Amino acid sequence: MVVERNEDTKAGLRGVAKARRAALTPAERAHAAQAVAQAFFAEPKFAARQVIAGYWPLPEELDCRPILQRLLEDGRTVVLPAIIRRDEPLQMRVWEPEAPLYPAGFGTLAPSELAPQARPDLVLLPLLGFDRLGTRLGYGGGYYDRSFAEAEARPVMVGLAYGAQEFEIIPRDEHDIALDAVVTETGIKEFGRI
């Protein structure tokens, strides 16, 4: 079956991607986070969006907090995802400046369950890998795919990654939502509808 073979291949790629990411030094990570933020705000198609979903980074993920902080300072609406239950869409909770964050699943943080929710215009996605066609290699839970499967209402999907996370090709299953762009420390790669 194709899906099983794809999952085996993706599992192998996840191991390679994690090793590549782990090999980066703290200085390389910090430089990449600043370069990605600079590239993001230099692109009018991204920076003009009003409601933007970010993520609270895991230790080795590209740190999007410089982007989130500037968005908050600019008065934009920032939402962070919270995992409610396995096999359900993410809940996108509005993060107010200075509001505390709480555990939101898989080691991430999000605003309180009492925070309002909003549907983003643009989603910044963490990832393990990406390819030249805009296929995203995630952690395998399918949360982002489930959350934004509606084609007409789908926000712009922008992966944030280190250049070392690029692969030539990643198998794409029917349910996998393609990225519209990826921003790395070397610049922006566009794939779709931006």
Of the chain, the end-to-end C-alpha distance in Å amounts to 34
Long-range contacts of 2-8 (CB under 8 A, 24+ apart): 3/173, 5/171, 6/171, 6/172, 6/173, 7/140
pLDDT exceeding 70 applies to what percent of the chain?
93
Residue 3's pLDDT band (cuts 50, 70, 90): very low
Amino acid 192: pLDDT? 73
pLDDT exceeding 90 applies to what percent of the chain?
63
Amino acid 98: pLDDT? 85
For 135-170, how does the pLDDT look when each residue is reduced to its tens digit (9 = 90+)?
999 887 778 778 787 756 789 999 999 999 999 999
Amino acid 172: pLDDT? 86
Task: Show the domains of the chain with their CATH numbers.
Answer: 2-190 (3.40.50.10420)
For 21-69, how does the pLDDT look when each residue is reduced to its tens digit (9 = 90+)?
999 999 999 999 999 999 999 988 887 788 999 999 998 999 999 999 9
